[in-house]
Chain A
Amino acid sequence: MKKLALTVNGKKYLLSPHPFSRLLDVLREDLKLTGTKEGCGEGECGACSVMLDGKLVNSCLVPVLQADGKQILTVEGLAKKYLTPIQESFLNCGGAQCGICTPGMLMAAYALNRNNKKPTQQEIREGLGGNLCRCTGYCQIIESVQKVGKTKPSTRKGKSRS
């Protein structure tokens, strides 16, 4: 099989997966980065959201071949020394309940926040529109995104993995 070069959370990998493998499976099974979740497996729920070359994508719909030579950011790559303001805000506002949608929510919030530092509630709803939460915690999730950066910087240690 052809070797593929993936840069995940800043670290380079040379892999030989089946070209039609889903990026999601390569992240979870080959790289053991299990922060990215599988929900529906058909692009409806957003649990598998990651950034691919700076764009939010559903990793269940990306054949890994198309990630060759690309930069991938997963939830494990968000925190550096400390948690990011987005993660801190989700903690403060109770933006996570069971937690299965949270990695995807964090990535969608991250993608929104990159281009729009002060999103309106409508923009947040649209930015997170592709992400489902089955604990019905949407109010807290939206509040978490609204309050990003409004609390003091995190002192919680991040556990960055790549």
Chain B
Amino acid sequence: MTISFYSFRTIQTMRIININALTMGTTGLCETFIPNSVYTQCIRWKRKPIWLPTAKSKVFRVPKKPVIPMEDYVELKRLYNNYRTYMTSFNAYIRQIAKENKTQVNETVVNELTEEDFKACNAINDEWNAKIAKIREIRLAEMREKRKNIILQSILKQEQKQEKRKIRINELVKKVKEESITFITAENVDAAIEECLTNIVNHNRALDVEGNWHEGKYPPIPLVEETQEPAAIEQQN
């Protein structure tokens, strides 16, 4: 409705400005304002759209009844009647043919065709599947090989690491065993105590730049507990 009402140029302009018939209204665009146009006047579509009321200047206009001569009227009527009869008959014939074709198509042919089509599609699909299965097998085999290698390598690395660790631990054990001779055990604990008591080492001394030793001298600490007394005395000495 709206499209048919406006002239071609108006529609084109509307499209360019990106508006439609509702936003434009009826008087928004005059054809003379349309850019780049030779003056055009639409003959088929009048200026007033059908939904507007009668123009004020036309309200009291009474259109004249057309006077058609009787002979013309009879002839025109006959022709129109013939035309309409023919068109309805022809229309009915075409409808009937269309209906027949439709029913024919619906029943058997379509089913057969769909089945055939399905078969053909299925065959193509199977072919594709087989092709891709081959590719997939190769790819999977490669993947398996790679994974195997990676796992083997990792195992090897692990073994090497373990070996290194073993060696290191062995060395450590050997060292400790060597040192274990000097350890204080239950057997030689008395001797060790004795030795400690005899050879008192005093760490409370300092060295200055000239190489002189200074012995630490502290005032004697008042006795607080008897248990602490001997150690404190020893330290002071």
Chain A bound to chain B: no
